[in-house]
Structure 1
């Protein structure tokens, strides 16, 4: 029933995957206090190298992008050296790995980067905050962000490009730009979080401008064949949906189609969710408007993913929490063996 998941897949002329099962990005908060990947992280990823492609946990591109404790970075020499150990371990076991490049935007917190200055700026498209507290550090409440200036956006674009170059230097096979799940790039794409009235907000054409500038900068540094993107057309995490969001993504998806990305990846926790303004599931909406390699995700079993691929709903499947519980997930699918069930206590260690 799942034989199609185990077939090779060519992303492009540069990268061939041994199967259609991707390890989804999974934030583990296990880097050291300098945000350097550890030996335990290298072993953790190496045990999962049979995935057709590993997408790393989200990796912050610069200090003010941090919104969770001990999330690894890709902006210092030490961090690059630490990732070299990880990528070498994955490659030694025959795997491929992309770095997911991340800036959390308005859910960053100056506790992590403010050097004691609790009033250090949090950057976002608009000065619209979110309610709540920082995951795993509930004593920290979110701050009202500062609307990023056009000059600051130019620096952010350059920093995304530098992080992509750093990823290749660290031995990654490519990068996935995190443009989903309510973080910085996604904040520009939704009316709830983007209330600007300059060239980066107001109209669909303006709202896609910053994301496309980031994508084009990264492509110019490492090539479209090594660049993937994750998107969340349906607003559902740390933001409220708006029917006008549909027009933004109606414009964005054809622009992405022209750029020949390695893949486009749906960012959603549960793909059974439906959005009125998208006419149903986010994955169905994207498939109807984007013809190139699409990665599905969102609580799929191997059997359900296999059926969806057979039905041309997407081309590849990203598996999340089951990969935490089953380092040998691919082998178990191949051998039709039962999977170990995921439980939250598994987040306390890297196994």
Structure 2
């Protein structure tokens, strides 16, 4: 066995992580009617080898999503369910952040959750995203043209309340989901944000919404707040020309870092295409680490997307990153840290048919809590 930099402890905000092999948010759709379950608790506790676990995206308000059975964090029943999971994770020796998620224009007005919410689909501007596939809406329609948000402060207040709920549930912190084409990124991107008021137009104005949300979360959790960014774009029909991308994210990251958060995680470009765009992504291919790492002076820096343990060790040992967020490696290897420590291979293949339970699927444990530990 050789010492691996990923296994060293790390101070993030007010908490000490036992290692730097963090688990990224991954939507798994095992929350019946949006509420946490005992099966979800089993899934997260299995992966408590991680120094930090970030939950799958938690919807901050009811939204019609094509992610059936995605969990939320907007009412007391959510708080109680998540508290049970958080307590179990703390008992197992790990830390956990709640990822706060708003779909924005990627919701659908005829999805059951949106009907129950009694609200229109919101976005920065009345511009529809290409693609989409809503399995619980007849005909599996695509995205619709959203209603432009009249007063963004109303949504910022929802984020803050979600953070208050997360704190009541005992989470160690919260992560702002500002990646993958969801609401915060829709404000950042000049292809989805055509506003002419103080929330759109210039780089500073397009960044205002995300920064104000970030400030609201910090009011609740102090330093124990992170933000996830995917400047390379593409997913869910966002992505700007390179110069606009560099200007926008350089400003956002600089200003976010001034707030002294726990961490900033940069998601690098992925070549994986999405069938909803007929295999074409609106991506801005550039090295996000080289482009923005030097701007981060206060927060801890994590990298995410397609990173092997070997690359992660090198990034941390060379001082280029403070830690790494693994996704599929944690999904398929609940004993990931032990495998890293022992030099065991990552040989569990993902059961892609069970990443999201099929319609009518009864056994949600398949492809979820049934990945084996390494046999040696």
Same fold (TM over 0.5): yes
Equivalent residue runs for 1:105-116 within 5 Å? 105-110=104-109, 111-115=111-115
Structure 1 unaligned segments of length 5 or more: list them: none
Q: Contact 1:2/1:303 (CA < 8 Å) preserved in 2?
A: no
Equivalent residue runs for 1:312-351 within 5 Å? 312-339=319-346, 340-347=348-355, 348=357, 349=366, 350-351=368-369
Question: Take 1:11 and 1:200, find their aligned partners in 2: how far apart are those partners?
Answer: 31
Please state how far the C-alpha of 1:146 moved relative to its aligned partner. Answer: 1.0
**Mapped pair 1:290 → 2:296:** yes
Name the counterpart of 1:54. 53
Pick closer, same or farther for the CA change 1:135–1:295 going to 2, 3 Å: farther
Secondary structure of the corresponding residue to residue 157 of structure 2: helix
Please state how far the C-alpha of 1:341 moved relative to its aligned partner. Answer: 2.7
Secondary structure of the corresponding residue to residue 113 of structure 2: coil
Q: Contact 1:226/1:261 (CA < 8 Å) preserved in 2?
A: yes
Name the counterpart of 1:308. 315
Name the counterpart of 1:148. 149
Pick closer, same or farther for the CA change 1:221–1:2 going to 2, 3 Å: same
Question: Take 1:142 and 1:83, find their aligned partners in 2: how far apart are those partners?
Answer: 30
Per-residue Cα deviation, 1:101-138 (whole angstroms, up to 9, x for no partner)? 00011111221333379x95111111111122236557
Please state how far the C-alpha of 1:154 moved relative to its aligned partner. Answer: 1.2
Name the counterpart of 1:209. 208
Q: Contact 1:208/1:248 (CA < 8 Å) preserved in 2?
A: yes
* TM-score normalised by L of structure 1: 0.91
* TM-score normalised by L of structure 2: 0.86
Name the counterpart of 2:9. 8
Q: Which moved more, 1:140-149 or 1:341-350?
A: 341-350
Name the counterpart of 1:86. 85
Question: Take 2:54 and 2:250, find their aligned partners in 1: how far apart are those partners?
Answer: 26
Name the counterpart of 1:178. 177
Secondary structure of the corresponding residue to residue 114 of structure 1: helix
Please state how far the C-alpha of 1:64 moved relative to its aligned partner. Answer: 2.9
Pick closer, same or farther for the CA change 1:197–1:124 going to 2, 3 Å: same
Name the counterpart of 2:225. 227
Per-residue Cα deviation, 1:43-62 (whole angstroms, up to 9, x for no partner)? 10001011010000000001
Equivalent residue runs for 1:89-168 within 5 Å? 89-110=88-109, 111-115=111-115, 121-134=120-133, 139-150=140-151, 153-168=152-167
Q: Which moved more, 1:281-290 or 1:316-325?
A: 281-290
Name the counterpart of 2:256. 256
Q: Contact 1:128/1:193 (CA < 8 Å) preserved in 2?
A: yes
Q: Contact 1:253/1:289 (CA < 8 Å) preserved in 2?
A: yes
Secondary structure of the corresponding residue to residue 202 of structure 1: coil
Per-residue Cα deviation, 1:57-90 (whole angstroms, up to 9, x for no partner)? 0000011374521110000111111101111111
Per-residue Cα deviation, 1:163-191 (whole angstroms, up to 9, x for no partner)? 00100111111000101110000111111
Q: Contact 2:332/2:349 (CA < 8 Å) preserved in 1?
A: yes
Question: Take 1:226 and 1:84, find their aligned partners in 2: how far apart are those partners?
Answer: 18
Question: Take 2:315 and 2:287, find their aligned partners in 1: how far apart are those partners?
Answer: 13
Q: 4+ runs of 1 displaced by more than 4 Å? A: 135-138
Secondary structure of the corresponding residue to residue 324 of structure 2: strand
